Chain A
Amino acid sequence: SQTIHQWPATLVQPVGSPLSLECTVEGTSNPNLYWYRQAAGRGLQLLFYSVGIGQISSEVPQNLSASRPQDRQFILSSKKLLLSDSGFYLCAWSVGGAGRRGYTFGSGTRLTVV
């Protein structure tokens, strides 16, 4: 069966510090991978998605970047965090596109920038 791992579960980081969140998927090949952010009391905002190794689509210009070094690994990074980067970060995967079968989400990382 397919599983998605996301870590860490919670993170408190000072303003200006770097960020690296990692997501891995098991049990499937060539998944579409996604990073979402959910700010407190807000909806889900798509940040990046990837349809293959090294292929990254950015949805919102911001202080973040994403990379996909391996087929089932997706990394979200920042060189310098801002207060506005606080939120609940969710990795998700789908096969054949999320618009066909929906997403499976990881358990999320709650990031607080102080």
Chain B
Amino acid sequence: QKEVEQNSGPLSVPEGAIASLNCTYSDRGSQSFFWYRQYSGKSPELIMSIYSNGDKEDGRFTAQLNKASQYVSLLIRDSQPSDSATYLCAVNSGGYQKVTFGTGTKLQVIP
């Protein structure tokens, strides 16, 4: 069983719509959850972190965490073509020295 699972996509949404990206994890002891954005051919960039149940908003991005369901999501409002990228979910595992990444969801925003 994979420790962090994401739908590989591609997820296609029209410009201006809400993109919803989902992630599940297996380690109930995980405390830190991250979303990274990776443009094609580039390195990942941290865009959101969340540590407690509920929602965390930063601009057009909202991260949602439900520890009981072991579920993390990222909502992107007013999606733009520049949001087209692969979004990686990451969860701390075995302490705080490292995290485990999902394989990523490719998002395509259609103009």
Residues of A within 8 A of B (CB): 32, 34, 42-44, 46, 49, 51, 57, 59, 90, 96-108
Contacts and interface: CB of A to CB of B under 8 A. Distances in A.
Contacts, number: 62
A105 B98 contact: no
A99 B43 contact: no
Contacts of A46: 98
Interface of B: 31-32, 34, 36, 42-46, 49, 88, 90, 92-93, 95-99, 101-104
B45 A105 contact: yes
Contact of B98 (A42, A98, A101, A107): A98
A99 B93 CA distance: 8
**Majority DSSP secondary structure for residues of B touching A:** loop
17 contacts: A43-B88, A43-B101, A43-B104, A46-B98, A49-B97, A51-B97, A97-B95, A97-B96, A97-B97, A98-B96, A98-B97, A99-B32, A99-B95, A102-B49, A103-B44, A103-B99, A108-B42
